[in-house]
């Protein structure tokens, strides 16, 4: 569908939207609303992925700190805090003649292809109608089995759902460095990234705040998925003046993750495989299989598998790791974990002669049509 506007997704961390006193940073949200209005004049629509519900919920419920490990209390904090956060967005954006909506998601809403598409259609319609959706994980009902785990991953998912032109993460750091700048004074700023490799992943440090759940590593992983989807992304400081408007005008702000040109036409179903559901297990492959997947887009055969990790069933999503342990692809398993363990390292003729593995004789461990290779 061709539209007359571009779409920007902005992810806002807890430490940016909620102060250390547990109160919503109304000044920041007001500034964000000003930018949303300016973006509208530049031909952009905005989608907000906002953390902060638990962070501003626990003080009003009488906790002196986030009740880590107490799931019912965390859910209660999320419920109370979400009302506070939503009211702040509604009031500040309404003052600029902008309408917001609240969209709460869990993995349960996206793990199935049909519900994933329903979420996509709802978000696209909201954006088309000129609404600014404010998206968050539904922490009030979420348990570990259906959690995204961090809003960096959620922002990448939302960007794919709305076919965003740009995803911006407003953080407590101004971009990517060669090492953690809080610990290493020789760390150098990285303005542009064209490929996320093991070295870049290794340079990512942990979160420097007590209110967030993600760190630089989750932002890097999310940016890698966005690069795979052909979507540009930026990590920059939440204190950077008018960062969103400046980016819309083409200025350089923070670290830009620029996807390769060949990543501009990825099938929507493969993006769902990458983001819709969490990985239920993983397989580690040898060098030859890894090169075949990455360079030639081949299916994964059992003969290339060296190790199977986790309990999963046929049809579950798996991570595919190279010998170094780096995730190079994600795909849908053609067999249960115990079957793949027996088949690992075997040629197709050996599999065919084994009556326990007969069902896998005529198909790969993961078919190329159900496999997405990360950029």
> Residues annotated in the binding site for substrate, as ranges?
51, 139, 151
The H-or-E segment that residue 92 falls in is helix 71-94
Strands 371-373, 327-332: pairing kind: antiparallel
The neighbouring-strand residues paired with 170 are 12, 236
Q: How far is CA 300 from CA 66, 348, 368, in A?
A: 44, 12, 7
Residue 326, number of CB atoms within 10 A of its CB:
16
Structure tokens at 124: 């696209």
Q: Which two tokens stand for residue 115?
A: 């519900």
DSSP for 21-35 reads TS-B-HHHHHHHHHH
Closest listed residue to residue 362, CA positions, set 335, 344, 342: 335
Site of tokens 């197709």 = 348
DSSP 173: S
Q: Which residues are annotated as a binding site?
A: 11, 51, 139, 151, 171-172, 213-219
The contacts of residue 341 (CB under 8 Å, 6+ apart) are 308
CA 278 centroid distance within chain = 11
Q: Which residues participate in the annotated binding site for ATP?
A: 11, 171-172, 213-219
H-helix or E-strand spanning residue 283: strand 281-285
- Tokens 């509208």 correspond to 40
Q: Which of 168, 161, 155 shows the shortest CA–CA distance to 124?
A: 161
22, with CB counted inside 10 A (0-12, 13-18, 19+), is: buried
Instruction: List Cα–Cα distances, 233 to 194, 348, 363, in angstroms.
Output: 11, 42, 37
């Amino acid at each position: 569908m061709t539209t007359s506007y571009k779409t920007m997704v902005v992810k806002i961390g807890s430490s940016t939207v909620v102060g250390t006193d547990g109160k919503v940073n109304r000044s920041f949200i007001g500034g964000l609303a000003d930018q949303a209005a300016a973006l509208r004049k530049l031909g952009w629509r905005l989608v907000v992925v906002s953390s902060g519900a638990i962070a501003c919920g626990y003080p009003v419920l009488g906790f002196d700190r986030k009740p880590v490990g107490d799931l019912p209390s965390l859910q209660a904090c999320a419920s109370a805090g979400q009302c506070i956060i939503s009211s702040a967005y509604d009031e500040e954006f309404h003052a600029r003649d902008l309408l917001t909506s609240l969209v709460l998601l869990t993995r349960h809403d996206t793990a199935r292809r049909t519900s994933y598409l329903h979420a996509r259609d709802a978000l696209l319609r909201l954006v088309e109608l000129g609404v600014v959706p404010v998206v968050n994980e539904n922490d009030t009902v979420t348990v570990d089995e259906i959690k995204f785990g961090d809003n960096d991953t959620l922002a990448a998912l939302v960007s794919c759902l709305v076919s965003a032109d740009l995803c911006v993460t407003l953080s407590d750091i101004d971009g990517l460095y060669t090492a953690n700048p809080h610990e290493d004074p020789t760390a150098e700023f990285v303005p542009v990234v064209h490929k996320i490799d093991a070295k870049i992943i290794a340079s990512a440090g942990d979160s420097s705040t007590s209110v967030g759940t993600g760190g630089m590593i989750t932002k890097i992983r999310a940016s890698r998925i966005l690069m795979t989807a052909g979507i540009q992304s930026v990590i920059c400081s939440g204190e950077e003046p008018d960062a969103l408007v400046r980016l819309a005008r083409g200025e350089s702000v923070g670290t830009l993750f620029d996807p390769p040109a060949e990543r501009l036409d990825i099938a929507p179903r493969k993006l769902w495989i990458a983001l819709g559901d969490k990985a239920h297990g993983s397989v580690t492959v040898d060098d030859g299989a890894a090169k075949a997947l990455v360079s030639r887009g081949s299916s994964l055969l059992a003969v290339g598998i060296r190790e199977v990790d986790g309990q999963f069933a046929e049809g579950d999503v798996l991570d595919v790791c190279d010998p170094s342990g780096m995730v190079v692809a994600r795909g849908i398993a053609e067999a249960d974990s115990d079957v793949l363990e027996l088949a690992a390292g075997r040629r197709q003729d050996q599999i065919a002669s084994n009556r326990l593995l007969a069902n896998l004789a005529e198909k790969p461990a993961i078919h190329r049509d159900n496999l997405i290779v990360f950029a």
